[in-house]
Amino acid sequence: MGLSKNVRKMIAAGLFASTVLTMGCGSTATTAGAQPEAGTDVAAATSTTGEDDKVELRYLLWGNQEEIEFKQKFTDAFNAQSDHIHVNLEAIPEGFHEKLTVQVSSNTLADMVQIAGDFGGEYFKEGYFEPLDSYIEADGLQDAWADSVMGGLTYDGKVYAAPLTFNSGFIFYNKTMFEENNVPLPTNDWTEEDFIKAAQALTKGEGQDKTWGIDMTSWWAYSLARNLYDGYKAWDWETGTMTADTQGYRDGVQFMTDLYQKYQVSPTPTQAADIGGSFETGKYAMTIGAAWDMKGFNEAIGDSFDWDIVTFPANEKYGKWRSPLWTTAIGISATTPYKAECWEYIKYMALSDEVQAEIETVGLPALKKTSEDPAFLTTFPEGYKPFDKKVYFDALDYSVDGVVLNEIQDGIMKPELELVFAGEEDVDTAIKNIQEKGQLKLDRMKNQ
């Protein structure tokens, strides 16, 4: 079967290049593979048996050096203990989308493919990946993984990938700064009003000595503007419709703008270069981040000040702020003749104690057995100071999957929001421009 029209359009548009891949953490997005056309030698196009009669499986994945080394280490361990399977990693530090596109077009799709929770639905719908429900049920794994991560890996009631890790957003806060200024420490049930009061109380001073209540100068500013209230995403990929004109999206953009213009508790993204540094400098009481920031902050902050993490605050109308959810998982090609063998490898990577013991170095464990283990919640990687690790998993409750359209987010939304945040354009004008320009872009995508 050849590529569907929808998938051809996605490949041509390059819609699923992920911000997270660029940062070297979390998930990326790309397109899924097509099934070989009639007459294709599936076995020759995917796996072979070696001289030792082991089935040779190919696993296509992305990742930074640390992630790839982690998966290679445990793939080697799996290969050493298996008497009939040998897995070969096709690890792509950059250009995963392009590599997968080549495999799709040449009918040589790998037996297993790394999948992100934000790009699955269209490909699952087209039948390019094997439903895993029968394997999951046979092994009694229906409740094995955190419920929140399964939404982006499920289509039409069927599960198409087994999750390994996830990431979502929360707030880092400078505990020392809060305590020295007699500002109540944030808690996981704090409100947006509590957040604003704390940010205002901790914004003080002038010039290079100024401290800010929140660092909202990174890409998070644009991402949160899209997701902040009730998961409004500014577009509906399934219908090809922009939704930037909804009240939820407008309210989110207005709140983000107020942080810079009304409350003045954060420099704008365009002012960040003049200030230099981020949370680790001690100039900011709070910042938005994810688990991938932990190693860097621990190394950079050292003993300079005490800090911890806390969930997003709740808006009175919309509830908790929403964060993007980044999930990494493994799916099985619908055309591989070695599905059972693929499942054996997936179970090892997603469930084994050996992998789970070290998985925190590359992402948060999606496996409930690990994430709910009191020992895991009170044990920290070497060099880390203790923190409220439960926040990692509480953040799942307000995290949402969604197709990332960088051509709209970076090419249209970001320039408009930069003007709004800097006070050079009003919110209504920016939203009108985002809605109209975004719809033109979606229409062109549909007609490609």
Residue 426, CA distances (Å) to 80, 117, 247, 433 in order: 61, 34, 16, 11
Token representation of residue 98: 């392009």
Phi and psi of 141, rounded to 5°?
-110, 20
Average pLDDT over the chain, rounded to whole?
87
- Pairing between β-strand 55-62 and β-strand 48-49 as defined by DSSP bridges: antiparallel
Q: Are 313 and 194 in contact (CB under 8 A)?
A: yes
| pLDDT of res. 183 | 98
pTM: 0.86
Say yes or no to pLDDT of 276 above 90.
no
State how far the Cα of 339 lies from the Cα of 347, in Å rounded to an integer. 12
Phi and psi of 251, rounded to 5°?
-65, -35
State how far the Cα of 125 lies from the Cα of 127, in Å rounded to an integer. 5
State how far the Cα of 1 lies from the Cα of 37, in Å rounded to an integer. 5
State how far the Cα of 39 lies from the Cα of 31, in Å rounded to an integer. 24
Structure confidence at residue 50 as a pLDDT band (50, 70, 90): low
State how far the Cα of 81 lies from the Cα of 78, in Å rounded to an integer. 5
State how far the Cα of 435 lies from the Cα of 100, in Å rounded to an integer. 31
Q: Which of 44, 49, 54, 58 is nearest to 85 (CA)?
A: 54
Structure confidence at residue 296 as a pLDDT band (50, 70, 90): very high
Structure confidence at residue 175 as a pLDDT band (50, 70, 90): very high
State how far the Cα of 241 lies from the Cα of 328, in Å rounded to an integer. 27
